Structure formats: C-alpha cells, structure tokens
Amino acid sequence: MITTVYLTGLPGVKRKKVRAMFFGRGSVSQYLRLMPGGKTKTFCSAGPRGAVNVYLDDDGNWRCNFCRYASVLSDVVCKTKKAVREWLTKWLPEQG
C-alpha cells in the first residue's frame, strides 16, 4: 500500500516539509519505477528492523539513508540512478 506522508528537516532541501510516498515494505523495483517520472522525488519505506528514505535534494542529487532505532547507519549522496539501485539493493533488505 502506498500512502502520502510528509518528511521534515531533510539535509540539502530548503523546504521545511516535503511530501513523500510511503511504502509499508517497498521493493527496489517499486522505488526505481517512481524515480524517472519526476512527480515523486521523495519516498520512504519501513519494516521491523529499520527505515529507508530516498529523496532528490535541491542540487539534483539523490540522497539515501537507512535508520534503525533512531540511528543513521548509512547516509549517501548518489548522482546516478544506478548508484541508488546499488544502495537500495544493499540496504532495503536490512529493514526486514
């Protein structure tokens, strides 16, 4: 199920509140299908062992982070969709 949520305080984004698409437990293919469209520039997913956020910053870079128990375990800036795919392939399964 996809739900609209709002994220605040994203590094690299001037707006205070950013609209995002939330997947209960998303897959790499779900994320990547949304990326080319341009309408959805921010998406997140969560499971019992963590949460993934991927968003486009103001400079046009993709930012990806993985958090578990309020601690950031991975935070990267990607310039290409291929780099985002590689990051998602590694970290998305970690959320459980």
pLDDT digits (tens, 9 = 90+) for 44-63: 888 888 988 888 889 989 99
Confidence of residue 37 (pLDDT cuts 50, 70, 90): low
In contact, 55 and 8? CB cutoff 8 Å: no
The structure tokens listed for 84 are: 């985002």
State mean pLDDT over 19-27: 77
**Burial classification of residue 29, based on how many CB atoms lie within 10 Å of its CB (0-12 exposed, 13-18 middle, 19 or more buried):** exposed
Residue type, 43: F
Determine the structural domain holding residue 36 and report its residue range: 2-95
User: What total number of domains does the chain contain?
Assistant: 1
Output the CA angle 47-48-51, nearest 5 degrees: 45
Q: What phi-psi label fits residue 9: left (phi over 0), alpha (psi between -120 and 50 degrees) or beta?
A: left
